[in-house]
Each structure stands twice: as C-alpha cells, then as structure tokens.
C-alpha cells in the first residue's frame, strides 16, 4: 500500500554522520548502527521538579546519566561516572557549581573539568579527570538530554505550553516494558479506539476509519484525522453534539515524539505531547505533558484519572506486541488503509539510518 514517498527529514542526523570516537554504553541493547542513529536526538529524561541540587541518576539509550542543578538553577548532565575510580557521581552531592564525588571528594565544575583533589590540594590535575558532558535543557516542564552533539538540533515544538491562555498539566510518567517505537506508533494509531479504549472513550459501534491525509515535514510528518469518534470520556458523552466531526492532528517529531491536537465542539483545543524516552531497546519512560484552553477552572482530578486510564489501556497492548522490535521492512507485517500514519512513521525511522529489523 503506497501512502507517501520515501524522505529524509532535513533535521535528521544520519548514523553515518556520527563520529566513531563516541563510545557506546557497556552491555548496550541496541545495535551499533541504531544507537549511533539515535544518540544525537533530544529525549526527555525527567520532570523538571525531579531534578534539584541533589544528583539524579537515570538511563538513556543504555547510558548511565546524572543530571543536577547548579547555583543559578540551570541543569547540568554528565555520564554518571568519576574517571578516577569508576564511582557513580550520582552518589555524591552538589556544592555551588560543582559536583563532588563521594569516594575521594574530587570536584568537577559545570564544564566537567576536575578543579580540586583533596588528597593533593596543590598538585597537578590530570586532564583525564574530565567528565563526559551532555547537552541538557529544561522545556515544557521536562528535562531534555542529548547524548551526542552533532550540530544544532531543535526540540519538538510545543508552543502551547508557554501560552498563558492554556492550562498546563504535568502527568506522572509511565514505565513501559516495550520499545519506544512501538509506543509512539500505538499513539498514532486511529483504528484501535473502538477496541482498546472501549472503557474510556472509544465507541465499539463506531470502528470505521475515514480516509485521512499525511503530509511530510522537515522533522517527520503531520496526519490530520477527522471522524465522529468523540474524545469525551464515557461519562461526558452527552456533551458531544450529534454528528460533530472531531479533528485530531498528529504532528510527529522523529524519532519518538508526537504531538496531538484535539479540537472540541466549542472550539477549545487540547494539546498532548507524547514523548517516549528510550531507557533501553525495550524499556521506555513515557512523558505526557498536556494543556488545554478550556475548562481551566474544572477540577484537575478528572483529567488525570481519564488519561491514566487511557495510558493503562495502551500499555496492556504495547507490552504484549510481538515481535518486540518495530519492523521497518514494510513487508514483514500486513497493512490496511487506516495504517497510513504507521507506515509513514516506519518509513521516517528508516530514513534516520535505523536497521530494517529495528531494535528500539
């Protein structure tokens, strides 16, 4: 089934462009080509409120990472290891602009350079005592990290989060025992509503998927889906005007971020950023900041409960998919017209240099 032409996004960083001096993590669960294709992209690794002046340990693409705030409130990210004797820096503490190793008290500044060795306060400091630093920034209530700097690369666009006309809601992250690519593809899927989400908002008597359009962008694609399937939870279906056409716009930012905009009957808009962070090849931490410009005074508990229910319904399916890897060879699985966004997504991932038997 043909839906779009093969493309290479202008913001893509191909694996062949990555310097091979960049070392891969030990016991990496990705193939080398896949890891090198993914390492230059931005990924959310924590909620902003989780990162304080106390070192915060995490994993990203199998790499051990530590993030922390320094005196001016900015976020620093580094490989979670002191090169003196291999102790995780996340066991230490932060003083001012420096992180202090718990084992021997070595201090490292915001650039990762060792500034002080307590055992030899006046001695020469080896240039090997330099931390492996990563780019980090705070946006949309999240901390984003990039393991490889291969030139400027923008974050996914979520301007509504900064708009004072919107109510911002930061949901708890979701731990998923599945590949990030599988999760994102499930988020883009429009034909599972009537079946997977029949207890939350899906309509079992309304499973038909109207034709929809996919348009390529520099960093992925946009899919505009219009149907009569309501986005209201079942307890609020009475608010849906008969025959109302719901517009859902999916904006994909390769490799693992997709933004959904839902237009409600009164003209209000709901914005959801589905940002999947690959802990390893088959472990994902999902971050989902959302905002809306209507019902801003309504209790937030209903919004939280509804979205957690939807997440749980998706999680139950995605964690059981087989093969666990997302097949980028379109001949490996069958497709039908409603899969237009899934096919575009797989083709987009392939252009990033990922293997045909993709492991993430």
- pLDDT 10s digits, 120-143: 999 999 999 999 999 999 999 999
Q: What value, to the nearest 5°, has the Cα angle with vertex 360 and ends 67 and 260?
A: 80
User: Does one domain contain both 248 and 165?
Assistant: yes
Q: Which residues of 161-191 are buried (b: 16+ CB within 10 A; e: fewer)?
A: beeeebbbbbbebbebebbbbbbbbbbbbbb
Given 125, 146, 167, the domain boundary residue is 146
User: Does one domain contain both 174 and 122?
Assistant: no
User: Does one domain contain both 166 and 309?
Assistant: yes
**Virtual CA dihedral for 333, 335, 339, 344, nearest 10 degrees?**
60
The terminus-to-terminus CA distance of the chain in angstroms comes to: 24
Collapsed DSSP state (helix, strand, coil) of residue 310? helix
pTM, to two decimals: 0.92
Q: Which residues of 224-249 are buried (b: 16+ CB within 10 A; e: fewer)?
A: ebebebbbbbeeeeeebeeeeebebb
- pLDDT 10s digits, 267-294: 999 999 999 999 999 999 999 999 999 9
Contacts of 130 (CB under 8 A, 6+ apart): 83, 112, 113, 114
- pLDDT 10s digits, 227-274: 999 999 999 999 999 999 999 999 999 999 999 999 999 999 999 999
Assess if residue 38 is contained within a domain: no
Q: Give the pLDDT score at 355.
A: 85
More confident residue, 357 or 18: 357
**Virtual CA dihedral for 179, 180, 185, 186, nearest 10 degrees?**
70
User: Does one domain contain both 261 and 170?
Assistant: yes
- Which of the 8 DSSP states describes residue 17? G
Tokens of 216: 């390529």
Q: Please state, for a pLDDT cut of 70, what percent of the chain lies above it.
A: 93
- d(C-alpha 74, C-alpha 76), whole Å: 7
CATH assignment at residue 101: 2.102.10.10
- d(C-alpha 47, C-alpha 64), whole Å: 17
User: Does one domain contain both 236 and 98?
Assistant: no
Residue 252 lies in domain: 159-351
- Number of domains the chain is built from: 2
Given 83, 113, 146, the domain boundary residue is 146
Q: What value, to the nearest 5°, has the Cα angle with vertex 279 and ends 273 and 284?
A: 50
């Amino acid at each position: 089934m043909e839906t779009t032409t093969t493309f290479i996004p202008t913001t893509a960083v191909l694996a062949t462009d990555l310097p091979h001096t960049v070392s891969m993590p030990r016991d990496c669960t990705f193939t080398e080509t896949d890891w090198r294709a993914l390492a230059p992209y931005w990924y959310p690794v924590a909620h902003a409120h989780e990162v304080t002046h106390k070192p915060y340990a995490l994993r990203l693409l199998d790499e051990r990472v530590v993030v922390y705030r320094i005196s001016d409130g900015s976020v620093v990210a580094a490989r979670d290891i002191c090169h003196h004797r291999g102790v995780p820096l996340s066991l230490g503490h932060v003083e001012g602009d420096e992180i202090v190793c718990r084992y021997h008290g070595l201090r490292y500044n915001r650039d990762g350079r060792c500034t002080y060795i307590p055992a030899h306060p006046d001695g020469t400091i080896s240039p090997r005592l330099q931390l492996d630093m990563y780019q980090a920034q705070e946006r949309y209530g999240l901390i984003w990290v990039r393991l490889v700097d291969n030139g400027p690369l923008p974050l996914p666009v979520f301007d509504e989060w900064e708009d004072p006309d919107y109510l911002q809601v930061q949901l708890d992250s979701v731990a998923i025992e599945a590949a990030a690519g599988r999760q994102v593809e499930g988020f883009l899927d429009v034909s599972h509503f009537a079946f997977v989400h029949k207890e939350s908002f899906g309509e079992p008597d309304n499973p038909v998927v109207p034709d929809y359009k996919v348009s390529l962008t520099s960093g992925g694609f946009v899919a505009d889906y219009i149907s009569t399937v309501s986005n209201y939870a079942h307890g609020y279906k009475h608010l849906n005007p008969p025959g109302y056409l719901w517009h859902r716009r999916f904006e994909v930012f390769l490799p693992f971020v997709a933004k959904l905009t839902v237009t409600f009957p009164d003209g209000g808009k709901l914005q959801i950023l589905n940002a999947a962070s690959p802990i390893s090849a088959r472990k994902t931490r999902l971050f989902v900041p959302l905002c809306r410009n209507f019902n801003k005074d309504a209790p937030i508990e209903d919004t939280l409960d509804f979205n957690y229910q939807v997440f749980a319904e998706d999680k139950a399916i995605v964690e059981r998919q087989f093969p666990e890897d997302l097949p980028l060879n379109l001949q490996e699985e069958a497709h039908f017209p409603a899969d237009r966004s899934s096919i575009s997504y797989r083709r987009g991932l392939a252009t990033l240099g990922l293997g045909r038997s993709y492991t993430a």
